[in-house]
Amino acid sequence: MQTVNPSRHDVVIVGGRVAGSSTAMLLARLGHDVVVVDQASFPSDTVSTHSIARSGVVQLRRWGLLGAVLGSGAPAIRQVTFHALGESVSRPVKPKAGVDLVVAPRRYALDAIVAAAAQRAGAEVRTGVTVTGLRRDGDGRVAGVCGHDRAGAPVDLRARYVIGADGLRSLVARAAGAAVSEARPAGGAAQYAYYTGIGWAGMELYVAERSFAGVFPTHDGQACIWVCTPSADAQAARRRAGSRAEAFGELLQRSAPGLAEQLRGARRISPVQGMLRQPNQVRQAFGPGWALVGDAGYHRDAVTAHGISDAFRDAELLAAALDQALDGEGSEESAALACYKQQRDRALREIFEITCRLGAYPAVPAFIALQKQLSAAIDTEAAALAARPIPGQRLLATA
Ligand SMILES: Cc1cc2nc3c(=O)[nH]c(=O)nc-3n(C[C@H](O)[C@H](O)[C@H](O)COP(=O)(O)OP(=O)(O)OC[C@H]3O[C@@H](n4cnc5c(N)ncnc54)[C@H](O)[C@@H]3O)c2cc1C
């Protein structure tokens, strides 16, 4: 068996997309030695639609990345049209918390922008590295990761902290023994495909019985067309239809007949993708030598399209806690991480509750009332984030 001399760092982060790379960028800006590893290469796509809520846009702005996201060709979305109960209402995105737009960049663009910012800040980003296990010290504390690169060469990285930013099926969470501290009934299905050939004035949202569908305008005049439904409905449509695309078409027709009609003049340019059953769960946030961020630590139904914003918010909370923990020791360290857990659990609460209720698809008037609550909760979250000091602000000019 090949052996390798381990390299030693302050922090090793497993997973380099929105949660991992933003945590790495902030820690590096705070002066820490950080390595991010990901089995994927960037730019690359992942299964996700990609509307970023106001609170996520606030983070991009504060971190100096909003210009790059808009510069990638993702259009600024300044109008949202809500279609429900036979009425359509268009509203501008009001200026609040320092932003007057939302945006839906493709993940291949967004994730690469954040990973590049982490690199510029001084983090090492190693792609094509699969982590297969955790290293522990003599006291059982997590002290590093092991794995291999694409060629099969062993990788051994030691660190004071290992961060699992490795998504819903997190290897770090499993290997560290992170318990699911809260499991709610699983959410529904979210499916999407890309279309070209129609210009959209903004974001379109369609509410109907047992469904929520819409349009996120994205790069190159394309649009992400999506439909969220209870899992049972999505699965039944798949069983009835000859293909995923046919099942998607059937769900769209039922959810948003006006949109389905408009799409007859467009061309689908991607396969239909998505998840048919999305867990709603919170995992233990940290333990000796490790912590979780992003979907690894908290996963919710995509019906509220809030996962990227959750990842950005929690990356900042975790980076601030690790900054403190790395500069202290013993009790200071556990106090800093306990603070991360407390802040994360408090910050996610309201939108998690709304998500679980939306994911149960109540009757249309109740669904609309929950959407209004969601919008208010996002505004509150955005204002709170905008009021925080920016970690590593000194280095923002070089971002
Ligand atoms: C259908 C769908 C639609 C969605 N729509 C939206 C939306 O519109 N807006 C929104 O805000 N959110 C949306 N989300 C949620 C959003 O996609 C997630 O919350 C977000 O991707 C979480 O980011 P992350 O960085 O935590 O994890 P991920 O994006 O899952 O990234 C994890 C990374 O870890 C790497 N990794 C995993 N295991 C290992 C290993 N062992 N070794 C090395 N690398 C590893 C993977 O390669 C991956 O790159 C949607 C999700 C789905 C499923």
155-206 residue pLDDT tens: 999 999 999 999 999 999 999 999 999 999 988 999 999 999 999 999 999 9
In the reported structure, the alpha carbon of residue 165 is separated from the centroid of ligand 1 by a whole-number distance in angstroms of 9
In the reported structure, the alpha carbon of residue 199 is separated from the centroid of ligand 1 by a whole-number distance in angstroms of 28
Give CA–CA dist 342/339, Å, rounded.
5
Cβ(63)–Cβ(390) below 8 Å = yes
Q: How far is CA 57 from CA 30, 84, 379, in A?
A: 22, 26, 11
pLDDT at 159: 98
Residues lining ligand 1, Cβ inside 6 A = 14-20, 37-40, 46-52, 130-131, 165-167, 171, 190, 274-275, 294-296, 302, 305-309, 311
Give burial (CB, 10 Å; 0-12/13-18/19+) of 299.
buried
Q: What is the DSSP string of 340-385?
A: HHHHHHHHHHHHHHHHHHHTT---HHHHHHHHHHHHHHHHHHHHHH
247-275 residue pLDDT tens: 999 999 999 999 999 999 999 999 999 99
Cβ(333)–Cβ(325) below 8 Å = yes
Q: What is the largest CA-CA distance in the chain?
A: 67
In the reported structure, the alpha carbon of residue 46 is separated from the centroid of ligand 1 by a whole-number distance in angstroms of 7
Give CA–CA dist 195/32, Å, rounded.
43
pLDDT at 394: 64
| Burial track 324-341 (b if 16+ CB lie within 10 A, e otherwise) | bbbeeeeeebeebbeebb
Q: Which residues of the chain, if any, have pLDDT below 50?
A: 1, 398-399
In the reported structure, the alpha carbon of residue 251 is separated from the centroid of ligand 1 by a whole-number distance in angstroms of 24
Report the nearest-CA residue for atom 28 of ligand 1. 167
Cβ(372)–Cβ(89) below 8 Å = no
In the reported structure, the alpha carbon of residue 358 is separated from the centroid of ligand 1 by a whole-number distance in angstroms of 21
Token couple for 371: 């959407």
pLDDT at 395: 56
pLDDT at 166: 98
